[in-house]
Amino acid sequence: MAGIGVTPHVGLKSAYEREGWCEPPYRFSDAAVALLRERTLAISRERRPEVVHEKDSGTVRAVHGCHAFDEVCAALVRHPYLVELAEHLVGGPVYVYQFKVNLKQAHEGAAWPWHQDFAFWHEEDGMPHPDAVNIAISLDDVHAGNGPLMAIPGSHRLGLLDLPEDRAGDEDSDWRSHVSADLAYTVNADRARTLAKQNGRKLFLGTQGSIQVFHPSIVHSSSNNVSSDRRALLLITYNAVTNAPTRPTRPTFLVSRDATPVESRADERLDLQVLPDPASSSR
Ligand code: SIN
Ligand code: MN
């Protein structure tokens, strides 16, 4: 691929299939991050349905669907490296299913309990298979104290865990319980603890601009932000065009109805930098 001069995605698929997560060997530049941060924080200050607050507070927890109305976010989802990465991992053309920025404000950003994203997409929207992929881009430096995302490697191979028996298609289901700290579909905490003892936990730490990729069925969570540093995490979910949900009813800013394959297009404002090769630094 033309661009940053690396063949970036070779070898990632086997790691992704085995572990349920992977990291490409590049990150977004500080200038690109600054632009994305400026746009998404400006949106977070608007009064609009896509902006979600923490429980009982005016603190913004997340903004959704920005790619549908902001041109920088629209350019981001068409980034040739991201599209090629998603197509490589999913195995064919993709479209944007979901776009969100979880802001996790300093001292106030609340946890996400252990869960699997595919539980929501399958049960609520009728997504047939977990043939989708989450690409997470850190818009702030992420450290152990500001509520990093953590995942249990290999847990994506266990199928959906702890689904409530009578919830699927529940007409009273409120989409806010899919984006709040009181999630509708969680993985039992004891089960997650046991799994984490067996398989370990992967913490998604890194500088701003870092990119991490995780599977729709991987068990993951994140803790409260107990630090004075915000942790803004931008998440794009690409879904295979052959895997569109069969009964989407949630707002379009949570579930895109348009399964047209995303066409990649380079935008010089959203430049990438190659990461140092970890093998060469250990020599
Ligand atoms: C988080 O922002 O920490 C949670 C993201 C997710 O569960 O997808
Ligand atoms: Mn999740």
Q: Is the pLDDT of residue 177 over 90?
A: no
Q: Is the pLDDT of residue 168 over 60?
A: no
In a domain, 263, yes or no: no
- Count of domains for the chain: 1
What pLDDT, in 10s, does the model give residues 45-58? 999 999 999 888 88
**CATH code at position 42:** 2.60.120.620
- Cα of first residue to Cα of last residue in the chain, in angstroms, is 28
In a domain, 42, yes or no: yes
Q: Which amino acid is at 250?
A: R
Q: What is the mean pLDDT of residues 95-101?
A: 98
> Which structural domain range is residue 154 located in?
23-162+175-258
Vertex 159: Cα angle to 223 and 87 (nearest 5): 85
In a domain, 265, yes or no: no
CA of 140 to the centre of ligand 1 (A): 14
Can you tell me the distance from the alpha carbon of 152 to that of 155, in angstroms, rounded to the nearest whole number?
6
Q: Is the pLDDT of residue 282 over 80?
A: no
Ligand 1: which atom is nearest the Cα of residue 222?
3
Q: Please tell me the pTM assigned to this model.
A: 0.95
In a domain, 219, yes or no: yes
Ligand 1: which atom is nearest the Cα of residue 62?
2
Using CA atoms of 74, 22, 138, 121 in order, give the dihedral in degrees to the nearest 10: 60
CA of 116 to the centre of ligand 2 (A): 6
Residue 174: band (very low, low, confident or very high) from pLDDT cuts 50, 70, 90: confident
CA of 147 to the centre of ligand 2 (A): 13
Residue 172: band (very low, low, confident or very high) from pLDDT cuts 50, 70, 90: low
From atom 8 of ligand 1, which residue's Cα is the shortest distance away? Answer: 117
The residue to mutate among 64, 235, 254, having the most atoms of ligand 1 within 8 angstroms of its beta carbon, is 235
Ligand 1: which atom is nearest the Cα of residue 149?
3
